[in-house]
Amino acid sequence: MSRTPLHPTREQIELPMVLDCLSDPIRLAIVYQLAQQERVSSELRCGDFNGLAGKSNLAYHFAKLRECGLMQTRIVGTSRLMRLRREDLDARFPGLLDAVINSAAKDADRLQPLSECDVVEAD
Amino acid sequence: MSRTPLHPTREQIELPMVLDCLSDPIRLAIVYQLAQQERVSSELRCGDFNGLAGKSNLAYHFAKLRECGLMQTRIVGTSRLMRLRREDLDARFPGLLDAVINSAAKDADRLQPLSECDVVEAD
């Protein structure tokens, strides 16, 4: 059985909230890692981000990413499974997510949490 | 004679700072208006933004935009002339500025300060 916490609908996703959410280097690194992973697996677990920050700090960032509409979370048993809301974001703000992810990839060496992920050159 | 206040160099422009700066609806509207104006005139004056906010509020936002590298300011006599740093931004973060401006144009009716500008559909 899976539970789903509250998410904004596609239409409720707001540009200033999304930009504000992405302005934090740890959240940028989480989004970057989710984007890299999209090709392999659509969902990641909390534990996959352990290199980025402490557990409670991560929980805070996951909530911010969910509340602004960047990330979809579902709870299965004791696990949280997370994925990017790419379709919703691309529909609301065409090109924005890719531009941010490519910019982050370009600056990976400056964005300290990002450089701890396995940085793969963005397309 | 013109004076130039302090600006970050192209290499000093940082992605989290730029995203944070753009997360404010008034600053988004200023950037949007500068982008619309690029085709006609590269520089705008403080007074061109009077519809967006009060004078001291605008001065604060102009400083934030200059400090994060989004905007170039030069002072001529008692006027401040401002333009987008498009070349620097496009070099540092290809596609990002246009994606943000197009997203803002799409959401102009939701972004209250933006809808007070003359919204022209972005390309």
Q: Is residue B112 part of a domain?
A: no
Distance from CA of A79 to the nearest CA of B (A): 30
Residues of B with CB under 8 A from a CB of A: 14-17, 19-20, 22-25, 28, 92-96, 98-100, 102-104, 106-107, 110-111
pLDDT for position B1: 60
Q: Is residue A112 part of a domain?
A: no
- Enter the tokens of residue A85: 């809301």
User: pLDDT digits over B36-60, tens only?
Assistant: 888 777 789 888 888 888 889 999 9
Q: Is residue A113 part of a domain?
A: no
Instruction: Report residue B84's pLDDT band, with 50, 70 and 90 as the boundaries.
Output: very high
Verify whether the Cβ–Cβ distance A22 to B25 is below 8 Å.
Answer: no
- Token pair 């909230």 in the structure block, residue: A17
Q: Is residue B28 part of a domain?
A: yes
Q: Report how far residue A84's alpha carbon sits from residue A73's, in angstroms, rounded to the nearest whole number.
A: 9
Q: Is residue A121 part of a domain?
A: no
- Please give the order of strands across the beta sheet that includes B44-45: B2-3, B71-76, B79-84, B44-45
Instruction: Report residue B121's pLDDT band, with 50, 70 and 90 as the boundaries.
Output: low
**What ipTM was predicted for this assembly?**
0.89
Separation in Å, CA A113 to CA A23, A50, A54, B86, B98 = 13, 11, 12, 27, 26
Q: Is residue A57 part of a domain?
A: yes
At B49, which CATH number? Answer: 1.10.10.10
Sign of CA dihedral A77, A81, A87, A89: positive
Range(s) of the domain holding residue A93: 10-105
pLDDT per position in chain A (123 positions), as tens?
667 889 999 999 999 999 999 999 999 999 999 998 887 777 898 888 888 888 899 999 999 999 999 999 999 998 899 999 999 999 999 999 999 999 999 998 888 888 777 665 544
Q: Is residue B92 part of a domain?
A: yes
Domains in chain B, number:
1
B104 alpha carbon, distance to own chain's centre? 12
pLDDT for position B37: 86
Q: Report how far residue B117's alpha carbon sits from residue A97's, in angstroms, rounded to the nearest whole number.
A: 25
